[in-house]
Structure 1
Amino acid sequence: MNGGRRRPTIEDVATEAGVSRGTVSRVLNGGHYVSPVTLDTVNRAIKKTGYVVNQHARSLVTQRSESVAFILSEPTERLFTDPNFAVLLRGCTQALAEHDIGLFVCIAASHSERTRIARFLAAGHVDGALLVSAHAGDPLLGLLGSASVPCVAVGAPLGFESKVSYVAADERGGARTMVEYLRQLGRTRIATITGPLDTSGGRGRLEGYRDVIGGSFDESLVEEGDYSQDSGERAMTKLLERHPDLDAVFAASDVMAVGALNALRRAGRRVPEDVAIGGFDDSSAAVAARPALTTIRQPYHRISSEMVRLLLGAISGDEPSAVVLPTELVRRGSA
């Protein structure tokens, strides 16, 4: 015989509040058609009795799992080495918690992982998905669309812009701001380390660079990276080999800018005296760098909250929509 305390039931809440079981049920399912006074009374009764919603039972009624997936289309280690992913994950978790919705983290770096995750989502284990770092040609977007799984992407999902909701920073405008700033400092040989060019962020930041460089654009001053520190270091080394006279570089992420700093230090170049560096993101890597990075700030808290807002709307049947948020120049020691 179990001598422990009996778990409070919905009937206990109804008795404590002096209302019917149906009224308590309406409060638990959103409070529709319940007066503010009754809503307050029931919520106080829930708190007093210690009642906890049986999520499995609720799911049987609502046909919802009350959980969503956070899908990162990058290798697992990037979740821990790129501070932007951790910030987005934390922000989305906090925003979803306000709606009592749980979050699954899924890594979709390979074709087999994407196929398995698409099957998992199509089976109804989650109500929707938050897509992070989606690349052009990623079959996951098509698989989720075929399965009618509501989803929202960070950045424009290339090829699916009209079909999938997304939240993005002004990639192109932010890059223009940074390169214009480097020019205002008197720098004339400005190189760039791009992000992956099969992502909207990589393309948009390169476009912003080209907007400012204009007719003097030189392909040999451009080197592609993948947002990792190693790729930033390799790219900077190649740029210096081709153009030892370069006097500034715009790295399309702070993490790559840190790699570029390492390469410049190894080559005996001073920052910012010999070479000015600008990053993008305003991540913890920008603050920790020496010198600290001048960078473009993305409003990650707003991005997270807007992603969750759009996803909840998509789950409720809203049409796809897009939100583009402004960026901001942050001046520090590297430029």
Structure 2
Amino acid sequence: MTARTAREAPEPRTARAARTDRTAGTDRTAPAAPAARSRGGKAPTLEEVAAHAGVGRGTVSRVINGSPRVSAPTRAAVEAAIAELGYVPNRAARALAANRADAIALVVPEPEARFFAEPYFSDIVSGVGEALAETGMQLLLTFAGGARERRRLAQYLAAHRVDGVLLVSVRADDPLPDLLAGTGIPTVISGRRSAAEPLPSVDSDNAGGARTAVAHLLSRGRRTIATITGRLEVYGASCRLDGYRRALAEAGHAPDESLIAVADFTEEGGRRAMRELLARRPALDAVFAASDVMAAGARQTLRAAGRRIPDDVALIGFDDSAIARHMDPPLTSVRQPIEEMGRAMARLVLSEAGPTPPGKPEPGAGPQQLVLPTELVVRGSS
């Protein structure tokens, strides 16, 4: 990727992927009539029209722009919602659509150091880039690790310099997704913030993957199974903890909080959590770590304590990254289809941002929530 600069300011630090030959459409319809009816006297938004009609935001955009890729009943429902709410499209915003940016922003609300340290992010970028290469859209990579960077990012995106936003690694209480949704730019999130995520999202089966991992350890005769979780304000981490607990409960094991250590998805966090677990439960015989990076840290602590893997302690990670394959012994890990998640995110934001390409189905009602399956890859560590 090459560095991108722009005359407009302020602009976050960015990197762009190369452009190919085709382009994808977008719509930035926004309310602009003060007289339009809405609760509280405010003009209704495109999202309110979509909710009222029971369809997605992209479908409303297609109806407004006269796209033929909308069924007659759906068009009638949207037109009725527009009439009932008094929604009036902003002509300036519609004109802006003709000058689309032909760019999608991938926003990472994390420090750059973590982005480059974890294989998860590079695999997401790879999948997104592969999907966008088919469309002619550019990829704008942006970091927003602090409050100031988030504010600058919101200002930058509010100027409609991109056609859609992809968000990865978002905490449950992070205001950034709502800030971005408020700009009217189609936004897709990787990893839901909660079970009731209002934005379109792509996720993996975190709970199911963890459950399979712990069931595997139980099948190998392990009985004192600990877990190292990620930050529990991250919904995916809490789901993996739920899967761990469910597998133990199904095997008749009573809950034991002393076998749970919370970390932060870093290698140092894995080392620290493993030290805590050994201090509490020195006789533990297995560990399920909620990421391969944390598993690598746990392995270092176990070896420093004289514990053999898997003879004394079996170890399983999550992600099935290159780290898992290169550990000694190779790490058993739950495989997430990370590149496929990136591709699905890109396809989803493109479907929200513009007319449905020929041959593609019209989006259904409400935000799309895709959950992709996981798979346990068994190696020497368990």
TM-score of the pair, normalised by structure 2: 0.71
1:172 partnered with 2:219:
no
User: Which sections of structure 2, spanning at least 5 residues, go unmatched?
Assistant: 1-21, 26-66, 69-94, 356-362
Report deviation, 1:28: 7.4
Tell me the equivalent position of 1:184. Answer: 219
- The aligned amino acid for 1:320 is P
What SS does the aligned partner of 1:149 have?
A: coil
Closer, same or farther in 2 for the Cα pair 1:94/1:326, shift >3 Å?
A: same
Tell me the equivalent position of 1:329. Answer: 376
Tell me the equivalent position of 1:10. Answer: none
Report deviation, 1:332: 0.6
Tell me the equivalent position of 2:103. Answer: 67
Closer, same or farther in 2 for the Cα pair 1:252/1:28, shift >3 Å?
A: closer
Distance 2:243 2:203 in 1: 15
Deviations 1:83-114 (A, max 9, x none): 11011112111211110100111111111111
Identical residues among aligned pairs (%) = 46
Tell me the equivalent position of 2:270. Answer: 232
Alpha carbons 1:66, 1:101 under 8 Å: kept: yes
Alpha carbons 1:114, 1:139 under 8 Å: kept: no
What SS does the aligned partner of 1:148 have?
A: coil
Aligned with residue 181 of structure 2, among 114, 121, 145: 145
Alpha carbons 1:136, 1:159 under 8 Å: kept: no
Q: Highest Rg: 1 or 2?
A: 1
What SS does the aligned partner of 1:121 have?
A: helix
Alpha carbons 2:333, 2:377 under 8 Å: kept: yes
Distance 2:150 2:129 in 1: 22
TM-score of the pair, normalised by structure 1: 0.80
Distance 2:132 2:212 in 1: 33
Tell me the equivalent position of 1:130. Answer: 166
Closer, same or farther in 2 for the Cα pair 1:134/1:61, shift >3 Å?
A: closer
Tell me the equivalent position of 1:103. Answer: 139
Alpha carbons 1:278, 1:334 under 8 Å: kept: yes
- The aligned amino acid for 1:254 is D
- The aligned amino acid for 2:108 is L
Distance 1:288 1:121 in 2: 40
Deviations 1:32-58 (A, max 9, x none): 99xxxxxxxxxxxxxxxxxxxxxxxxx
Distance 1:71 1:82 in 2: 16
Closer, same or farther in 2 for the Cα pair 1:29/1:69, shift >3 Å?
A: closer
Tell me the equivalent position of 2:237. Answer: 202
Name the Cα RMSD after superposition: 2.0
Higher RCO (C-alpha 8 Å, min separation 6): 2
Tell me the equivalent position of 2:337. Answer: 299
Tell me the equivalent position of 1:54. Answer: none
Alpha carbons 1:135, 1:158 under 8 Å: kept: no
Distance 2:173 2:96 in 1: 36
User: Which sections of structure 1, spanning at least 5 residues, go unmatched?
Assistant: 1-26, 34-58
- The aligned amino acid for 1:289 is M
Distance 1:99 1:83 in 2: 25
Deviations 1:155-199 (A, max 9, x none): 1133861x2010011000000000000000000000000011011
Deviations 1:91-143 (A, max 9, x none): 11121111010011111111111111111111101111110000011111111
Q: Determine which structure has the larger helix proportion and give its number.
A: 1
- The aligned amino acid for 2:283 is D
Alpha carbons 1:72, 1:131 under 8 Å: kept: yes
Distance 1:29 1:223 in 2: 46
Report deviation, 1:316: 2.4
What SS does the aligned partner of 2:167 have?
A: strand
Closer, same or farther in 2 for the Cα pair 1:29/1:124, shift >3 Å?
A: closer
- The aligned amino acid for 2:166 is L
Q: What is the correspondence of 1:1-335 to structure 2 with a 5 Å cutoff? A: 62-158=98-194, 161=197, 163-214=198-249, 216-316=254-354, 319-335=366-382
- The aligned amino acid for 1:193 is I
Deviations 1:292-327 (A, max 9, x none): 100100112221111111101111275421110111
